[in-house]
Amino acid sequence: MKRYECLICGEVYDPKLGDFEGAIEPGIPFDALPDAWVCPECGAPREEFMELEDLAKAVVREDSPATPVLATKFALLRSGAASR
């Protein structure tokens, strides 16, 4: 089951644990949470939560190997142009 993280405070909803304060029993997926459920930490609505895997992907995408390779190519181009 997918975990969700609050974008406001970083609180993580883990379906395996449920939400004790919100009276959510363990095993309830995020999608099945009641509409009135809010972040137990900061009170943010469900819309402020993001799938943790997506968040991890977004972080990986930012410093993907393609970026340093491109930077190296540009550095080579620049040094090549400078020597000419």
Positions touching Zn ion (CB under 5 A) are 6, 8-9, 11, 39, 41-42, 44
The least CB distance from residue 72 to Zn ion, in Å, is 40
Q: What are phi and psi of 3, to 5 degrees?
A: -100, 150
Find the angle CA(54)-CA(55)-CA(58) to the nearest 5 degrees.
Answer: 85
Beta carbon of residue 52, minimum distance to Zn ion (angstroms, whole number): 14
Nearest approach in angstroms of CB 84 to Zn ion is: 56
Quick one: 31 or 67, whose CB is closer to Zn ion? 31
- C-alpha–C-alpha distance, residues 19 and 59, integer Å: 26
